[in-house]
Amino acid sequence: MIEIIGPLANPAAANRARSAEKTAPLQKQLIERLQQAILAGRLPAGSLLPSSRLLATEMGVSRNTVVIAYEHLAAVGYVVADKKGTRVSPLSSPAARGEPSANPAASEATYAARVGQFAAAHTQADNSLPLTPGTPALDRFPLPAWRRAQERSMERALPQALGYGTPVGEPALRDAIAAHLRMARGVRCEGSQVVITEGAQEALNLCVRLFTNPGDVAWVEDPGYRGAKAAFNLGDLTTLPMPVDAEGIVVPPKAWAAHPPKLIYTSPAHQYPTGAVLSVARRLDLIAQARRSGAWLIEDDYDGEFRHTGEPIASMQGLVDDAPVLYVGSFSKTMFPALRIGFVVLPRAIAERAAVALHEMLRGGHRLEQLALAHFIESGEFGRHLGRMRRLYRERQQALRDALTAHFAPASILGGECGMHLTLCLPPRIADRSLAERALAQGLNPRALSGFALRPRAQTNGLVIGYGNTSAEQLAPAIRTLSLIARRGR
């Protein structure tokens, strides 16, 4: 037997000790060795184990140690004991059945088919690097005010707030968000329509779960936000790319009949990443057509809070009564990305009808953060922070525009009416992915425009350049470096 399970570590020394704690490791060792031998098939099903007396002598341990080990193995089902002795149970481990062992975790075939649809579009880089799109000014976030809001929520809501919360989110936050959206974004809603989610991404996933069945068709903007495509992949939807021009998403008239969608993802305030603002004519047309064909429009109000030119453009959701719009928002840019709080505003009737399902699907957590955020909004801190960030981003955008004009003219620059990034179009001789990679090697993190494309096209060649977390002083030298890298070529 010792050849099969191997000798135990220092059994003589351990046996000499009298106390129960000191002999326990020997039992544990013996149990583990026997288990391993059974699972690996070295002790096949049905084989008779030596008597406790014989094994004790062979292993140099007390008989009691073996008896206890056998009893434990019998209790968990590795062996069965009867009058004739102790035998190995028939187990379903492949090795115990004498089958070759494969590592299923390493095999592609063990993943769900949808996992294969995800492709890495961008190199994973530190998203606090200069020029990273989508990162707000982290060092300008009002930490003292946030700390006060957190302390207040702890003082007032503990210990109750350590328990599960309402699955759709803290009522105080839902009300605060609804009041803010009515005033700032023209959204027609009450707190009861707001579902709090783990960022906009989870809100998109929720839209898929609530409104689609596998195989349904979803339209996405192309180039567009990869998070939407990811959510549609997870729902096993058939995703159809729709082109984008200077007025936003373009829907070929025949598409409604040829590929009727269940969901249509749009970012009307500031198309991501081209920066186009969806025209009112197209908004109204989308709403009318979606209504006719029973589709839902997802309005990702990305960047809507940071409008830099002209009058604020209200949300598509609020444009007409009862628009078939699922309004998605996030605090990742208006507060900070790690907060992971977003939301979806459901139409009133849907919110009522989906209540039971939502309560089963979701769990209420992050209650203290939600309560702190509710207070942050209600106390006016959030509005003041947004105002300060709007002014800051305007200055930074101007600095970026000046630097791009100085170093890349006559290349065209897209976007800028809202948000925290500009998109620089590149001539075909400069491949955007290669330029982005070389920039990253220099500590700069603009993103290749082609990485946002679902269908590769020659004109989708450029750089998406963030200015949210890059100061005006950093921008000029960073763009100079970028132009030098571009001129150097490969």
Ligand X SMILES: Cc1ncc(COP(=O)(O)O)c(C=O)c1O
- Chain residues binding ligand X by CB under 6 A are 134, 199-201, 225, 227, 267, 272, 300, 302, 330, 332, 337, 342
**Residue 59 in tokens:** 């292993």
CB of 123 vs ligand X, minimal distance in Å: 16
Query: Which residue lies nearer to ligand X by CB, 38 or 194?
Result: 194
Beta pairing class for 85-88 and 217-222: unpaired
Query: Which residue lies nearer to ligand X by CB, 11 or 136?
Result: 136
**Residue 88 in tokens:** 């190995």
Query: Which residue lies nearer to ligand X by CB, 70 or 302?
Result: 302
Cβ atoms of 105 and 99 closer than 8 Å: no
Distance, in Å, from the CA atom of 291 to the CA atom of 98, rounded to the nearest integer, reads 61
| Position of minimal CB gap to ligand X | 199
Query: Which residue lies nearer to ligand X by CB, 299 or 432?
Result: 299
Of all helices (H) and strands (E), which one includes residue 382? helix 381-408
CB of 105 vs ligand X, minimal distance in Å: 28
CB of 414 vs ligand X, minimal distance in Å: 15
Of all helices (H) and strands (E), which one includes residue 300? strand 296-300
Cβ atoms of 137 and 468 closer than 8 Å: yes
CA 61 from centre of chain = 54
Cβ atoms of 286 and 251 closer than 8 Å: yes
CB of 174 vs ligand X, minimal distance in Å: 17
Query: Which residue lies nearer to ligand X by CB, 63 or 122?
Result: 122
Query: Which residue lies nearer to ligand X by CB, 373 or 485?
Result: 373
Cβ atoms of 413 and 423 closer than 8 Å: yes
CB of 378 vs ligand X, minimal distance in Å: 21
CA 359 from centre of chain = 21
The overall longest dimension of the chain from CA atoms, in Å, is 93
CB of 337 vs ligand X, minimal distance in Å: 6
Beta pairing class for 79-82 and 296-300: unpaired
CB of 267 vs ligand X, minimal distance in Å: 5
CB of 117 vs ligand X, minimal distance in Å: 19
Residue 487 identity (one-letter amino acid): R
Query: Which residue lies nearer to ligand X by CB, 65 or 334?
Result: 334
Helices (H) and strands (E) in the chain, counts: 17, 14
Query: Which residue lies nearer to ligand X by CB, 211 or 272?
Result: 272
